[in-house]
Chains A and B, each alone.
Chain A
Amino acid sequence: MTLLIAWRNLVHDRIRFAITLTGIAFSTILMGIQLGMLLNFVHTISTVVDHAGADLWITAEGVPSVDLATPLQERRRFQAMSVEGVAAAEPYMLHFGFLKRPDGVRQIVIVIGIDPDATMGLPFAMVEGPSAKEALAEPDGAVIDRLYADKLGIRTLGETVEINSHRIRVVGFTDGIRTFTQAPYVFMSLAKARSFFYAPDNDIAYVLVRVAEGHKPEAVAEALAARMSEVEVLTAGQLAWRSQYYWLVTTGAGITLVSSTLLALLVGVVIVAQTLYASTMDRLPEYAVIRAMGGPRSYLYRIIVQQAVLGGVFGAAIGLAVIAVVVVFTRHLSSAPEVPLWLAFGIVVATMLMCVAASIGSIGKVMTVDPVKVFR
């Protein structure tokens, strides 16, 4: 019966109901999009680390993020190979460069150079063109992500552009390798990348290490660090976290997203609390009757909380539907919210908690209901 009363209370005033749902949906959408963007940023920042297939990354000291590499001498790779537990150690070049589009517009890019025979760090998610190894083996071949094809002035495979005044031909497209820095990744062979930046033959950015079976990455990392000075040996997870921390915390980007999410929650609480409180005030005489008839206060609390939760369910459903549409229509953009099922579930739970929190004011009001007042 309380659920029926709660539902009828909710829908009795259509305008108020619409305001309530709009408020909850707005809050849900804002939370979903902000958290979805945050999740996308987290994944985007570390995407080349997450998909490189390396257990360990040897970096120059103090590298704050994978995209902000400091040159490392390739001899580190040979040193690494002599350490027990290392199955493979491969060079990985990463350098910012300028790409000149066919129309003359210059665009900053991140060039990643890998040996075509490499087993780690290759462009992943190839969707057009030959295999990654074949693409990198082509003399002027390069691979870009098709999300950025327009941005880089590429319409189809085979078109050419210049990077640092060197010609490259796009021979393969990946799908979904986003960049957080807005400088798209361009994959090419290590030798070509070195020549583009006039780097010495022994300059690289990272050494990617695969740990032999039966060895723990952390233990091998310690052995490598003990063997080499002036470098850091990080697990893939550590480098990913360091990169995420740098971009999201030290730049304030993540704090902005998180604070927007909290603000969305607050807005939702205020809107739901206000409409719920108004509804409760309207029903006070009837609630007083229930108290007079001998109904316990918990009966009234149930009505109010159920009213809040019902509003939350419908508001969250509308919000999630809008979020789903946004996710679908932005999936091919360079920046798009990611809302996996667990996050959607979390948003619904947060919305429910928000609505229940919003009912506290109304419950406080109902606590003061005096059954005597209905006689006046």
Chain B
Amino acid sequence: MMQPILSARGLVHNFGEGPSAVQVLKNIDIDILPGEVLLLVGPSGSGKTTLVHILGHLLRPTAGKITICGKSTETLDEDRLAELRLQHFGFIFQAHNLFPMLTATENVMVALDLMGVEKDVARVRAHELLGSVGLGHRIDAFPSELSIGQKQRVAIARALAADPEILIADEPTAALDSENGLKAMELLQALARNSRRAVVIVTHDFRIFQFANRVLHLEDGRIVDKPPESSHSFGAGSAS
């Protein structure tokens, strides 16, 4: 059986304390496997965003345990958690959040700089990454000179800079039109397949279900069994 990159058991998360506390995650178990595209879907308030925060180690669970490559992350302090995120996770945000005054290359170089990569090496690597997402011709463009789809690709290149095992994407297609959304998902799917990365996507976009190996439905803080909608094709991707 394939070893998960990340394994979470008994995740519980409360917002607030005491009688007014609201439990948003209720005993979640989840494994994230290398090479898979995992979608987290559910209605607003179902807990999917909180879950992805916790899986990405941006938020500590109230209870439960997470292991990455077999090592527990429970006892790590803030600094160690930051290092962990740097080494194991890449994040792609809905709003891209690129530095507007840095070029595409420089935006990617920021991620490499965080890892201590020397400037000249980082520049070459950034060019390679931008080339790999189809932006080799826009390396010196500022975000304001890029289309939304191109910005998304820069964000993907930046997320890949540290060569992470897990990519976490927040509504990666929400701001894109159909064509660009399709391209972005093809790219993420290829990244999962070709480099054995896990791609975890929080989404409301039914159009991208076809790219998922697994879809987890969350409702009221629990993972629920839910049959696929008839209009969507699942399993087009395969976790090999």
Contacts and interface: CB of A to CB of B under 8 A. Distances in A.
Interface of A: 1-2, 4-5, 8-9, 11-12, 283, 285-286, 288-296, 299, 371-372, 374-376
B110 A290 contact: yes
Interface string B77-92: 0010011111101110
A5 B85 CA distance: 22
B114 A290 contact: yes
Contacts of A289: 91, 93, 97
B119 A1 contact: yes
24 contacts: A1-B106, A4-B106, A5-B102, A8-B102, A12-B100, A289-B93, A291-B82, A292-B85, A292-B93, A293-B89, A293-B90, A294-B82, A294-B83, A294-B85, A296-B79, A296-B82, A372-B58, A372-B59, A374-B91, A374-B95, A375-B53, A375-B58, A375-B94, A376-B49
A288 B96 CA distance: 12
Interface string B26-66: 00000000000000000000000100110010110000000
A374 B91 CA distance: 10
Majority SS of interface residues in chain A? helix
Interface residues of B, number: 37
B99 A8 contact: yes
Nearest to A283: B99
A296 to B, nearest CB: 6
Nearest to B54: A372
A51 B95 CA distance: 71
Contacts of A374: 91, 93, 95, 97
Contacts of A290: 110, 114
B154 to A, nearest CB: 12
A128 to B, nearest CB: 60
Nearest to B155: A289
B219 interface: no
A375 B101 contact: no
A294 B114 contact: yes
B128 interface: no
